[in-house]
Amino acid sequence: MKKSLILTLAVMIMTACAAKEPKVLITYFSPTGTTKSLAQELGTVTGADLFEIEGAQPYTTDDVNLGNREARAFKEMADKALRPEVKGKPDKLKSYDVVFIGFPIWGDAAPNIINTFIEQSDLKGKTVIIFSTSGSSNLTNSYNKLKAQYPDLNMVEGTTLKRNPTPEARQNVINTLKEAIPAK
* Binding-site ranges for ligand FMN (CB under 6 A): 30-36, 64, 66, 73-74, 104-108, 133-137
Give the DSSP H or E segment for 23.
none
Query: Which is closer to ligand FMN, CB of 59 or CB of 96?
Result: 59
Q: Which is nearer to ligand FMN, 8 or 171 (CB)?
A: 171
Q: Largest alpha-carbon pair distance within the chain?
A: 76
Least distance from ligand FMN to the Cβ atom of residue 162, Å: 7
- Count CA atoms closer than 13 A to 130's CA, side-chain side: 25
Q: How far is the CB of 117 from ligand FMN (least distance, A)?
A: 15
Interhelix angle 167-179/34-46, rounded to 10 degrees, is 60
CB nearer ligand FMN, residue 30 or residue 112: 30
Shortest distance, position 40 Cβ to ligand FMN, whole Å: 11
Spatial separation of the C-alpha atoms in residues 107 and 31, rounded to whole Å: 15
Q: How far is CA 103 from CA 4, 21, 91, 123, 159, in A?
A: 50, 25, 20, 17, 11
Q: Residue 10 or residue 66: which is nearer to ligand FMN going by CB?
A: 66
To ligand FMN, the closest distance from the beta carbon of 127 in angstroms equals 23
